[in-house]
Structure 1
Amino acid sequence: MKFVIHGKNIEVTEAIREYVHQKLEKAVNHFQNITSEVDVHLSVARNPRVSSKQTAEVTIYANGTVIRAQEGSENLYASIDMVADKIARKLRKYKEKRLDQKTSSHVKTSEVVAEEPVELDLIGDRTPELPEEVVRTKYFAMPPMGIAEALERLQLVDHDFYMFRNSETGDINVIYQRNHGGYGVLQPRNANSNSNNSNGKVAQEVGEVNKLTRK
């Protein structure tokens, strides 16, 4: 299992490195068969108005699935303790879900989805430019999935939204946590005649997902 530790506005000393290894190795000890890489990012906020100044963020790559957790406090070691506990709970939930799926469907849950070909010429003769506000760009695989699976991925990455390719429509959708509870899905408005039917089906699926999460 590969460990990668980064630091921002902080020197990652040997003592900190050993503490991270100790805590996270214990947290992922029972999940080493599904864990290929553990990426740890430690940071200290320079803004005095930020209450959680010292943050520990852990990203785990497990069978092609990204599992992420983040915790912050006034003490870096306390943040590491909390994020280790949180990532262990998420790994346990993920493994239990995979076992349930394997038992119910009798198929392997680690099937590799074939990547679709990427159009090389996306911008034509235009010059690619990013606005000054954009400071980081990420690229990631986007296999088709349903809304229920997208919700599972959202809960694993510890974000308030998750972008995915809808397996029913082929469109790029975003599932997100609503401020007043529950989840919503953002999808493009298509000009074709089937858009109303697909929109209605998505709304129905979102309603079913929200019912399940409230139980």
Structure 2
Amino acid sequence: METSIVGVGVSISDRFRTVAEEKSVRIQNLAPRAQRLDVKVTHRAYHNGSREEETVELTVTGKGPVVRAEATDADKFTALDLAVDKLAEQLRRAKDKRVDARNHPRGARFDKAHGDLEGIDVQPASIDTLRAVATGEVPIVAEDGEEDYTPVVIRTKNFDAEWMTVEEAVDRMELVGHDFFLFIDARSDHPSVVYRRKGWDYGVISLTAVAPPVEEELAS
């Protein structure tokens, strides 16, 4: 497995490269089909000088979905250890799901009469959640110590649309370690997002594209 290590705002020492390459062996053992491991170290220094942080992002690519994990700590070696532990847990969980799927075939079923999803612990978003998203009333909570926080978009990413089932989207969300995952529902062709709720429950929001009514031209 090829390993790439880059630093943003920080230089990568030979010692860190050696440690990262040693830990990549653990990842390869858990993901033998992986072809590449990208390690990105980002240094952040806060404007008031109160603290500095090192964020380590790990991305595994190969045959199959991309798997990501990241961790932040004042020491980049500690952040690397935490990120590797997270990535290893996600890979183990994915392996367990594949074994379970072979032994117990599963599939989500949509009950049109009641609007329920059966065969998977995903619930449609509530009316209040949909209304909050549509009107922009979702509260933005600042992290502890972030007194100067402002809701500014600092990073934008574009991805190719992927058609998959809700169940597959949940699995992909777990692999990348995010709290939500965007996809196109293969059953309805609607843009949708699955998101993590309390515990191990999940929710799903779908957009139904409806063309606006065409207004008749006023008679002159």
The one-letter amino acid of 2:75's match is N
2:178 to 140, 159, 168: 159
The one-letter amino acid of 1:93's match is R
When normalised by structure 1's length, the TM-score is: 0.66
Other-structure match for 1:42: 41
Aligned pairs (5 A) from 1:110-149: 136-140=156-160, 142=162, 144-149=163-168
CA distance in 1: counterparts of 2:51 and 2:200, whole angstroms: 25
% same residue: 26
Verify: 1:31 aligned to 2:51, yes or no.
no
Q: CA deviation at 1:189?
A: 2.5
CA distance in 2: counterparts of 1:153 and 1:161, whole angstroms: 10
1:71–1:82 CA contact under 8 A, matched in 2 = yes
Q: Which structure carries more helix by proportion? A: 1
SS at match of 1:58: strand
Aligned length: 164
1:51–1:73 CA contact under 8 A, matched in 2 = no
CA distance in 2: counterparts of 1:29 and 1:51, whole angstroms: 36
1:4–1:40 CA contact under 8 A, matched in 2 = yes
Aligned pairs (5 A) from 1:43-62: 43-47=42-46, 53-62=53-62
SS at match of 1:92: helix
SS at match of 2:41: strand
Q: Deviations over 1:150-179 (max 9, x none)?
A: 111111111121011101101221112247
Q: CA deviation at 1:79?
A: 0.8
Verify: 1:84 aligned to 2:84, yes or no.
yes
Other-structure match for 2:70: 70
CA distance in 2: counterparts of 1:52 and 1:58, whole angstroms: 20
Which moves more between the two structures, 178-187 or 88-97?
178-187
The one-letter amino acid of 2:185's match is N
SS at match of 2:194: strand
CA distance in 2: counterparts of 1:51 and 1:146, whole angstroms: 43
The CA RMSD over aligned residues, in Å, is: 2.8
Verify: 1:100 aligned to 2:119, yes or no.
no
- List runs of 5+ in structure 2 lacking aligned partners: 106-152, 212-220
The one-letter amino acid of 1:147's match is V
Q: CA deviation at 1:23?
A: 1.5
1:65–1:181 distance in 2 versus 1, CA, 3 Å: closer
1:140–1:6 distance in 2 versus 1, CA, 3 Å: farther
1:46–1:171 distance in 2 versus 1, CA, 3 Å: same
Q: Which structure carries more strand by proportion? A: 2
Larger Cα Rg: Structure 1 or Structure 2?
Answer: 2
